[in-house]
Chain A
Amino acid sequence: MDMPVSQASEPGKRQGHAPDIDTTTRRPPHLDQIAGWGSDLDRAQRPAEPKERRPARLEGLHWHEVTPQVAHVPVLHSSERPGLTPIFGSPLPPRGLSGLVRRFAFGYSENDLRHWLLLLFADRVDTVEGLVEDVAHGHLPRLYAETGGRAELKHNPRAAAIKATALVAGVALIVAWRRSSSRR
Chain B
Amino acid sequence: MLAMNYRGPYRIRASRKSDPVIEHPGDAIVQVSRSCICGSDLHLYHGLVPDTRTGTTFGHEFVGRVVEVGSDVRNLRVGDDVLVPFNVFCGSCFFCQRELYGNCHNTNPEATAAGGIFGYSHTTGGYDGGQAEYVRVPMADVGPTIIPPDIDIDDAVLLTDAFPTGYQAAEMGGIDEGDTVVVFGAGPVGLFAAKSAWWMGAGRVIVVDHVDYRLEFARRFAQCETVNFREVGDMAMHIKRMTDGLGADVCIDAVGCEAKGSALQELTGVKLKLQAGAATVLHWCINAVRKGGTVSIVGVYGPTFNAVPIGNALNKGLTLRMNQASVKRHLPRLIEHIRAGHVKPSDIITHRVPLEEVADAYYLFAHKLDGCIKTVLIPPRAPH
Contacts and interface: CB of A to CB of B under 8 A. Distances in A.
A90 B11 contact: no
Contacts of A41: 177, 200-201
Given A87-B88, A156-B369, A38 B98 contact: no
Interface string A13-24: 111111001010
- Interface SS, A side: loop
Given A48-B171, A90-B23, A1 B340 contact: no
A40 B370 CA distance: 35
B303 A62 contact: no
B178 interface: yes
User: Interface on chain B toward A: helix, strand, loop, or mixed SS?
Assistant: loop
A28 B198 CA distance: 12
Range for the number of chain A residues in contact with chain B: 35 or more
A110 B125 contact: no
B141 A155 contact: no
Interface in A17-73: 17-18, 21, 23, 28, 31, 33-41, 45-49, 52-67, 69-70, 72
B62 interface: no
Contact of A141 (B11, B75, B122): B11
B346 interface: no
Contact of B242 (A11, A85, A106, A149): A11
Given A78-B110, A90-B23, A147-B11, A56 B98 contact: yes
A174 B150 CA distance: 63
A38 B360 contact: no
B367 interface: yes
Nearest to B366: A148
Interface string A149-161: 1111001100000
Given A123-B50, A127-B8, A34 B96 contact: no
Interface string A130-152: 11001000000111011111111
Interface of A: 1, 8-9, 11-18, 21, 23, 28, 31, 33-41, 45-49, 52-67, 69-70, 72, 75-78, 80-81, 83-92, 98, 102, 106, 110, 113, 116-117, 119-120, 122-124, 126-127, 129-131, 134, 141-143, 145-152, 155-156
Given A76-B110, A113-B304, 9 more contacts: A31-B203, A34-B198, A38-B199, A41-B200, A60-B74, A61-B142, A120-B273, A127-B9, A134-B7
26 contacts: A1-B178, A16-B178, A17-B290, A36-B199, A36-B337, A36-B342, A36-B343, A48-B172, A48-B326, A53-B98, A55-B97, A56-B97, A56-B99, A58-B91, A70-B23, A87-B138, A88-B126, A89-B116, A110-B303, A119-B50, A120-B273, A127-B9, A127-B54, A129-B54, A130-B8, A152-B363
